[in-house]
């Protein structure tokens, strides 16, 4: 994949200087107000700085060196919380910059009525195009804007968007008529109807979403922010009440020391959840960045978060669960026919079929007939396969006078008319209706053959000539290796997998059993896809699906997480809330994993942050109140050198732990396929227990270092 995929080192030198500069810029009051927890630390830093100036003038209630040291480390805490967010945003802006390079000054050949190839056109700037305009794009031209092809067919280089060097075919009608501005036509010509106004193109939306500064907070992030704010207010009120309690206690006892304001500020900053408060924005921005690194563009931050909470995955069978290129494996003749006659008829009916299935039938038919008549001289009797057709078959020639009948969704069959001969191939029920209308019959034995093929997970394709059924072609599709294990992992996470296919129920059931999915929807139509999604949603479940066609648009619009293929139609891309630039149907599983990873990272760091507050409590409380309540010395379990050392060690640890956790916030915790309960236990064991024990060790180590250096 992709040569242009953005994959930056965790600490790219090119990003560090701008991030350090932005961390200072974010000290502006407007920026600090966006994060309530860090805003409290910011105010504490300002107040402590004022108290330090007063202490230098002999007006402080604590030693100037202690007040100044606390002020420095509080500012350090604020700056590195800003740095974490700025670094995450810088990575996103680097990704956006690569996309902006795709936006070039482009001219467009705007067509006048009748808006068809050959009509007069006017050369205009691409920025002057509006939705509904029609443009001509010829060989070597850049496509000026997003749109739908209404005439023509062309080979298009989409490497600027997808990174894939191989060109793709885009043509009017069907599911491959959508084109993206900035891509280039390599051959032929197309007439494109513009589908967006300036500023609304696919690239514009991609740029807007990957720029971290424009990212909106998701509902889960907002809820967590409210929780952190509530905890901050609780600790703020507790800290505020400690000063009058201290004054009263000293007055009543007639001895002791009143707790100082710098000490109260240090206590407040260490007890509120500053760790997760400082990293929360960075986690969200990094989640979007990881999605972009996977070549998926999310048009909604809510969708990324929803991906982590998905309960049901709707997966298309072809290309996702199976390789999708079904191949002809065998010709099974009906009673009264022969495999050779069936092979010849199937070959004739597939000559105009440009699908992988049709091509494989042609190849297999040629192999079969060579085995039957390897040394024919080109002159065949009527009793063989029809005069001259075997020779034409071997040479890959189209018999003279042939007219082809294309496949349609309504008829569900295709074929060829050759003189008096009418040959058709298609789905069993379609051929059954066809031969019955012509007065023929569809025998129970033939139906058993069809059911037997379907029960093996293959696709039966029935071939008939006139009112006579010649037999069945077996098409095999292979389940992708390892997909069953992936589904087992999803099941462990509590995610239900549903295979969606247009195959009959027998074929669908066989593939579903082999792949290990939990359920399947056979003979799927746009209506029953939509109904299935709504049914799951009415049960309170979140649904994710992928699609690329216009007929997928209603279901994509209904799904909570909808991934459209970049190669799909404009309707599908507009209905979805994510677009996969690689057009890989299996990307949906990776999207869910990225969403899960983001939520796991947020949960892990929240657990760690709340747990290490407990350790800081044991470090600061005895030190802060040693002069007021000597009995609290019993809580000095770490045996810190002095009250001043304890305070400063806790404040320094509180600042440094944010720096240490920045890589984890940006990279994310390691993804594991675990259920909610198992994940909670793991978080409590690893990050809860770790958050409880690490501060004890860290604060004690800093205390010993300060004492060794003689700073306290």
Q: What is the pLDDT of residues 551-568, one digit of tens each?
A: 778 888 888 888 888 767
Is 316 annotated as catalytic? yes
Residues flagged as binding site for ATP: 353, 357, 407-414, 425
Quick one: DSSP state of residue 631? Answer: G
- Count of alpha carbons within 13 angstroms of residue 604, beta-carbon side: 23
Q: Cis omega (within 30 of 0) on the bond before 114?
A: yes
Q: How many percent of the chain have pLDDT more than 90?
A: 9
Segment 202-236, tens digit of pLDDT: 667 666 655 544 455 666 777 888 888 888 898 88
Summarize the annotated binding site as residue ranges: 353, 357, 407-414, 425, 548, 552
The reported pLDDT for the residue numbered 98 is 61
pLDDT in tens, 525-535: 788 888 899 99
| Rounded CA separation 417/434 (Å) | 15
What is the SS3 string spanning 81-147?
Answer: HHHHHHHHHHHHHHHHHHHHCCCCCCEEEEECCCCCCCCCEEEEEHHHCCCCCEEEECCCCECCCCE
Evaluate the CA torsion angle 545, 546, 551, 557 in order and state its sign. Answer: positive
Model confidence pLDDT, tens digit, residues 450-466: 988 888 778 889 999 99
Question: Is pLDDT of 368 > 70?
Answer: yes
pLDDT at 356 exceeding the cut of 50: yes
Q: Are the C-beta atoms of residues 489 and 510 closer than 8 Å to each other?
A: no
Coarse DSSP helix, strand, coil percentages of the chain, rounded to the nearest 5 percent: 55, 15, 30
Sole residue written with tokens 């209506």: 527
pLDDT at site 206: 61
Annotated catalytic residue within 133, 316, 503, 580? 316
User: Can you say which residues are annotated as belonging to the binding site for Mg(2+)?
Assistant: 548, 552
Tens-digit pLDDT profile for residues 380-403: 333 333 444 445 554 555 667 778
Q: What is the pLDDT of residue 285?
A: 73
Q: CA-CA distance, 452 to 423, in Å (whole number)?
A: 24
Q: How far apart are CA 373 and CA 636, in angstroms?
A: 97
Lowest mean pLDDT among 97-101, 465-469, 507-511, 631-635: 97-101
| Contact assessment for residue 215 and residue 284, using Cβ atoms and an 8 Å cutoff | yes
Q: How many CB atoms lie within 10 A of CB 50?
A: 14
């Amino acid at each position: 994949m992709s040569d242009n995929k953005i994959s930056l080192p965790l600490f790219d030198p090119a990003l560090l200087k701008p991030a350090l500069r932005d961390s200072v810029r974010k000290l502006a009051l407007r920026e600090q107000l966006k994060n309530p927890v860090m805003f409290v630390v910011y105010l504490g830093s300002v107040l402590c700085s004022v108290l330090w100036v007063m202490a230098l003038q002999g007006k402080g209630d604590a030693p100037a060196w202690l007040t100044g040291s606390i002020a420095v480390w509080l500012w350090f805490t604020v700056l590195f919380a800003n740095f974490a967010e700025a670094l995450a945003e810088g990575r996103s802006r680097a990704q956006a910059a690569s996309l902006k390079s795709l936006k070039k000054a482009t001219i467009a050949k705007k067509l006048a009525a009748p808006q068809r190839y050959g009509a007069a056109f006017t050369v205009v700037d691409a920025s002057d195009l509006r939705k509904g305009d029609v443009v001509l794009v010829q060989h070597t031209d850049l496509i000026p804007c997003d749109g739908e092809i209404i005439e023509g067919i062309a080979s298009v280089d989409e490497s600027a968007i997808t990174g894939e060097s191989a060109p793709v075919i885009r043509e009017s009608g069907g599911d491959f008529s959508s084109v993206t501005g900035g891509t280039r036509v390599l051959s032929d010509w197309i007439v494109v109807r513009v589908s967006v106004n300036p500023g609304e193109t696919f690239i514009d939306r991609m740029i807007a979403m990957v720029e971290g500064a424009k990212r909106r907070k998701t509902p889960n992030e907002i809820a967590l922010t409210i929780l952190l704010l509530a905890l901050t207010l609780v600790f703020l009120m507790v800290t505020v009440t400690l000063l009058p309690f201290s004054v009263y206690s000293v007055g009543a006892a007639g001895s002791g020391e009143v707790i100082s304001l710098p000490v109260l500020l240090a206590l407040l900053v260490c007890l509120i959840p500053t760790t997760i408060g400082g990293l929360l924005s960075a986690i969200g921005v990094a989640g979007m960045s990881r999605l972009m690194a996977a070549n998926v563009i999310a048009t909604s931050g809510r969708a990324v978060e929803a991906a982590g909470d998905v309960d049901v995955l709707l997966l298309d069978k072809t290309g996702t669960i199976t390789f999708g290129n079904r191949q002809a494996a065998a010709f099974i003749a009906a009673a009264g026919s022969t495999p050779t006659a069936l092979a010849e008829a199937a070959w004739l009916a597939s000559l105009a079929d440009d699908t992988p299935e049709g091509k494989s039938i042609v190849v297999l038919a040629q192999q079969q007939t060579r085995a039957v008549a390897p040394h024919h001289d080109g002159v065949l009797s009527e009793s063989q396969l029809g005069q001259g057709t075997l020779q034409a078959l071997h040479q890959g020639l189209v018999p003279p006078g042939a007219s082809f009948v294309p496949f349609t969704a309504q008829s569900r069959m295709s074929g060829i008319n050759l003189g008096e001969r009418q040959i058709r191939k298609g789905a069993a029920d379609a051929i059954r209706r066809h031969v019955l209308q012509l007065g023929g019959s569809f025998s129970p034995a033939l139906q058993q053959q069809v059911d037997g093929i379907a029960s093996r997970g293959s696709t039966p394709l029935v071939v008939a000539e006139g009112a006579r059924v010649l037999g069945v072609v077996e098409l095999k599709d292979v389940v992708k290796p390892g997909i069953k294990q992936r589904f087992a992992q999803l099941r462990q996470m509590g995610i239900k997998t549903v295979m969606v296919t247009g195959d009959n129920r027998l074929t669908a059931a066989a593939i579903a059993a082999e792949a290990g999915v939990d359920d399947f929807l056979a003979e799927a139509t746009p209506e029953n896809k939509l109904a299935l999604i709504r049914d799951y949603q009415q049960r309170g479940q979140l649904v994710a699906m992928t699609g690329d066609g216009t007929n997928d648009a209603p279901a994509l619009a209904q799904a909570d997480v909808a991934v459209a293929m970049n190669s799909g139609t404009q309707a599908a891309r507009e209905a979805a809330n994510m677009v996969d630039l690689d057009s890989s149907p299996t990307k949906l599983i990776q999207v869910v994993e990225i969403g899960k990873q983001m939520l796991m990272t947020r949960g892990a760091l929240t657990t760690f942050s709340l747990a290490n507050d407990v350790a800081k409590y044991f470090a600061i409380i005895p030190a802060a109140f040693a002069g007021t309540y000597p009995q609290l010395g019993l809580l000095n379990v770490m045996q810190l050198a002095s009250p001043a050392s304890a305070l400063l060690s806790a404040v320094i640890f509180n600042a440094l732990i944010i720096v240490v956790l920045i890589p984890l916030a940006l990279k994310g915790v390691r993804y594991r396929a675990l259920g909610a309960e198992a994940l909670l236990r793991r978080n409590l064991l690893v990050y809860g227990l770790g958050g409880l024990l690490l501060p004890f060790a860290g604060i004690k180590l800093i205390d010993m270092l300060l004492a060794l250096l003689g700073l306290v």
